[in-house]
Amino acid sequence: MLFPTIQYAIFFTVVLVASWLLTSRPVRWKLAMLAASYVFYAAWDARFVLLLLGATVFNQVMGVAIHGAEDGVRRRRRVRLAVAGNLAILGWFKYYGFFVASLKNLLASVGLDSPFPLLEIVLPVGISFFTFQAISYVVDIGRRRIEPAPPIDFAVYLAFFPQLVAGPIVRAREFLPQLATRDDRRIDVGRAFGLITAGLFKKVVVASYLATTIVDEVFANPAAHSAPEILFATYGYAGQIYADFSGYTDIAIGCALLLGFTFPDNFDRPYTARSITEFWRRWHMTLSRWLRDYLYIPLGGNRQGRVRTYRNLMLTMLLGGLWHGAAWTFVAWGALHGGWLCLERWLAERRAERPTSDPELAPVEPWWLETRRWLVTFHVVCVGWIFFRAESFETATTMLTRLVTGWGAAPLVTPPVVAVIAGIVAVQFLPRDLGAALQERFAGLSPAAQGVALAMALVAIDALGPPGVAPFIYFQF
Amino acid sequence: MPMPSPPRLPDPDTARRPAGPSDRSAPVARALLAMLVALLLGALMNADSLADTAERQPFGWQRTAAVAAVRPLEVVADATRLGGLNAWLTDSVGGWFRQAPGRVTTAGSLDNAGRPAPADAPDEPEQNAQPSHDRDPGIEHPAADGTPRDGHPAADGRQRDEPHAADRTPRDEHPPADGTPRDEHPTADRAPGTDGGRPDLSEHGQPGLHPGLAGWRARRTPTSEEPLEVWLTGDSLVEAIGSPLDTELNEAVPAEVRTDPNYATGLARPDYFDWHAYAEESLADSDPDVVVLMMGGNDDQDIRDADGQVLRHDADEWQAEYERRAVALLDRLVTEERDVFWVGMPMMQDPQLDDRMRRIDRIYQRATEAHPRAHHVPTRDLFAVEGDYASYMEVDGGGVERVRRDDGLHLTFAGGRVLVDRRLAAVITERWAP
């Protein structure tokens, strides 16, 4: 059940009415939300509701066991066991085939056979997201940051449908307190409906348009396309994946708001970034901080010397790349980002070592230098997207090669395509207050006027977008 | 000009909104009321679009219920003219926005995709036609709204107000494109004594060429000035083939491959996309030497015959009607100067779906047997290991690669390469390489 469908609109309306009616009955409210979330998940594949249920039971049992550990050593052991259990589930469903195939190829290169058979395993949608949420729960209990939640609360947290299949990755310590003190009698309607409308527009109109007019065709057969087409298909994919994923999380956050929950932001105009470091503070922010808190810092972060800091950065980004998909192209994407983060860190350290490195005394950067940094950052990100989108290294290298060698006519690069790509980047430079001001005005309208405004928006989205809806890109992760 | 300066960078950890209600907060009942008004008004204003969506569903009780639910909205929308804004936007801004670039071959389908079945079509019996194997969507855009699973539905950006192609083109009643009865194709261009040099496909268990064509040769020799023109079309399955086919063919013969997927289409629903009309109109604009077809993944659903009768997908009548459509499509594609290669369905991960695809594949095979220049290219054996479906397999050049996508249906690019390298390129170049 995808967000931009009539089925979801009906489903969510029913859930919102139930939520409203059950506001004063928290236990029934939780049971209703849990049931709704399982129905939502079962719409993809009912079998995997059992997996979700199993993950819930396992992590709740482990959470209680970790909390009950008498000393730090036992606690850490139990945390490791819980994390290993979660990673085993994720590894089995998502990475088994990838690792066995890679191992087979490696062993075959030295004339050996792999003892592991290749199996047919169906990937459950959203498993990467709910596994990461579960890990945050047991680790935070181990760190004494939270206590085990009542089972029904934890079950609602793990399965809560707005963020179940593609995030944002909400931590237990953000969600559970809101569940305990939930009060949805008053909600920020301007922000909620603003996010939902913007998310629908980004997904249905922008992402679909870019995918169907240039991106899919060029990535399907880059050898048949000229350099300008490949360049704009790459820009187009940058726009598409932003519109697609941020559109999804906008809708998720908006729906959660209507149900009385405040989720963390997941995007903050990432294409305004002037360094890759900054990019990762703006792109998929809930994943960035998850990787930082549950991977980078446990690895030692930047507190164990320069070399280990670089190693930790690279490892974090390589594993972050692999999280996105079981393919070496994703690892390459992570390596590119990790390598560039290391380079930026190295340059920053060199600057800091100079005698006149006091930031107070540093001259203000001229505009052209800032523009250059923005351009470099944007294009590094775009090169990364080539590996992210390409199904194989062959496709990626063909794209990169044709960028240099394939100059020729570019019938796919039309004014509307250029305008949409420029538009999706340009809007990120608009003042943040602009959206807030619109939401403020919307909130001041009567419910009937709000309904009319929203209906108009639905008409525009329907008229501009193609019929039917493609699934969100991040569902596969 | 200075770059616009973004505000202070938030730390991801603190980038969250205040938890409590803000000044803009309102009682949830007001939000609910606004939402209900929006949905009701939006449904009326988008009634035509909702009707399209409902009618694109596979035949069965869900479609029946959806169509029945939408019909009153259409009546009210017509009476109040609330649909006018959507129609105006679609015709003006939407039309411009959806305008496909010149080389996007799916642009042709803008004019060809059919509107949903006419409102006065007889209601279908309630049948459990929705396939039970809809799986997790993958990046290749399986459908989300009940439309066929294999691609972005109407990714072609078709315009809703175009007349139904099927209304313009009597379906399945066209004579063969060359005007020759099917069983009377001339064999004048048969080159004597040209059996030699044909690749031995017997190792794959099935030949790629029509049995009667062992000695046939292409009428012309492609050159770099006039390369072999290949029109690769079908549903989303063809996406994975285009690039390797282009590469592989050009190793043997100068070739230009035009990859033209029409997502979420098939022969089952000409009310949604009329392949017969599309083929005719496409061939009116171009004259490829070779047509490569691959489709079928969306066709395991009930179909409606010319009399409006809904035929269950497991009925004999379904097979007869489907075969009639397949033959009729070949009638439009095949000429005495053009080869058509119909690539069969590979093995599917879901056993039920696999059964249906195998039946469909047999129909394709029978249909090609009716046309001397149409050839069935079997693929079931290519993507099976020890007779079973395989997501991973050893590929040419060594190594194990993933050849099928997570949906258990589509090929990956590595899978497309396997199909091309091990079979498809061979059967084409066997006829066209100098």
**B212-260 residue pLDDT tens:** 455 555 567 888 889 999 999 999 899 889 889 998 999 999 999 988 8
C-beta of residue B230 within 8 angstroms of C-beta of residue B428: yes
Q: Is B94 on the interface with A (CB under 8 A)?
A: yes
Q: Predicted ipTM?
A: 0.80
- Indicate whether B130 pLDDT > 50: no
- Whole-number Å distance between alpha carbons of A91 and A128: 10
Residue B82 Cα to chain centre, angstroms: 33
Tokens of A239: 């726009």
- Whole-number Å distance between alpha carbons of B163 and B159: 9
3-state DSSP helix/strand/coil % of chain A, to nearest 5? 75, 0, 25
Q: What backbone phi and psi angles, to 5 degrees, belong to B340?
A: -120, 125
Chain B positions in Cβ-Cβ contact with residue A120 (cut-off 8 Å) = 349, 389-391
Q: Is B387 on the interface with A (CB under 8 A)?
A: no
List Cα–Cα distances, A304 to A296, A459, B162, in angstroms.
12, 56, 67
Is the preceding peptide bond at A168 cis, omega within 30 degrees of 0?
yes
Mean pLDDT for B126-147 is 33
Chain B positions in Cβ-Cβ contact with residue A2 (cut-off 8 Å) = 144-145
Q: What is the pLDDT of residues A410-466, one digit of tens each?
A: 889 999 999 999 999 999 998 888 888 888 888 888 999 999 999 999 988 988 887
3-state DSSP call for residue B400?
strand
List Cα–Cα distances, B111 to B153, B231, B282, in angstroms.
16, 19, 11
Query: Mutate which of A11, A15, A212 to disrupt the B interface (most B C-beta within 10 Å)?
Result: A212
Instruction: Verify whether residue A379 is a known catalytic residue.
Output: no
Tokens of A372: 């250059």
Q: Residue B2 burial (CB < 10 Å; 0-12/13-18/19+)? A: exposed
- Indicate whether B424 pLDDT > 50: yes
Chain A positions in Cβ-Cβ contact with residue B48 (cut-off 8 Å) = none
Contacts of B332 (CB under 8 A, 6+ apart): B174, B176, B177, B276, B279, B280, B283
- Cβ contact B86–A463 (<8 Å): yes
Q: What is the pLDDT of residues A145-199, one digit of tens each?
A: 999 999 999 999 999 999 888 879 999 989 999 888 766 567 888 999 999 999 9
- In 3D space, the residue among A125, A366, A336 whose CA is nearest the CA of residue A248 turns out to be A125
- Whole-number Å distance between alpha carbons of A457 and A61: 46
Q: Which residue of A has its CA nearest to B133?
A: A45
- Indicate whether B106 pLDDT > 70: no
Q: Measure the N-to-C terminal CA separation of chain A; round to a whole number of Å.
A: 17
Query: Mutate which of B1, B5, B8, B16 to disrupt the A interface (most A C-beta within 10 Å)?
Result: B16
Chain B positions in Cβ-Cβ contact with residue A440 (cut-off 8 Å) = 24
Q: Which residues of B331-366 are buried (b: 16+ CB within 10 A; e: fewer)?
A: bbbbbbebbbbbbbbbbbbbeebbebbebbbebbbe
C-beta of residue B180 within 8 angstroms of C-beta of residue B339: no
The whole-number pLDDT of residue A277 equals: 94
Alpha-carbon distance A331 to nearest alpha carbon in chain B (angstroms): 16
C-beta of residue A380 within 8 angstroms of C-beta of residue A342: no
Alpha-carbon distance B295 to nearest alpha carbon in chain A (angstroms): 17
C-beta of residue A215 within 8 angstroms of C-beta of residue B104: no
Q: Which of A67, A225, A284, A324 is catalytic?
A: A324
C-beta of residue B411 within 8 angstroms of C-beta of residue B346: yes
The whole-number pLDDT of residue B56 equals: 82
Compute how many other C-beta atoms are within 10 angstroms of the C-beta atom of residue A4. 25
In chain A, residues 81-120 whose CB comes closer than 8 Å to chain B: 97-98, 100-101, 104-105, 108, 118, 120
B18, B86, B240 ranked by CB distance to A459: nearest: B86
Q: Is A13 on the interface with B (CB under 8 A)?
A: yes
Place of tokens 């939930």: A182
List Cα–Cα distances, B425 to A210, B104, B208, B234, B422, in angstroms.
31, 24, 10, 17, 7
In chain A, residues 340-369 whose CB comes closer than 8 Å to chain B: 367
Q: Which residue of A has its CA nearest to B27?
A: A186
- Whole-number Å distance between alpha carbons of A170 and A87: 18
Give the number of beta-carbon pairs within 8 Å between A and B: 322
Which residues lie across from B233 on neighbouring strands?
B260, B293
- Cβ contact A123–B16 (<8 Å): no
Would you say the pTM of this structure is higher than 0.90?
no
Q: What is the pLDDT of residues B311-322, one digit of tens each?
A: 888 889 999 999
Q: Which residue of B has its CA nearest to A23?
A: B28
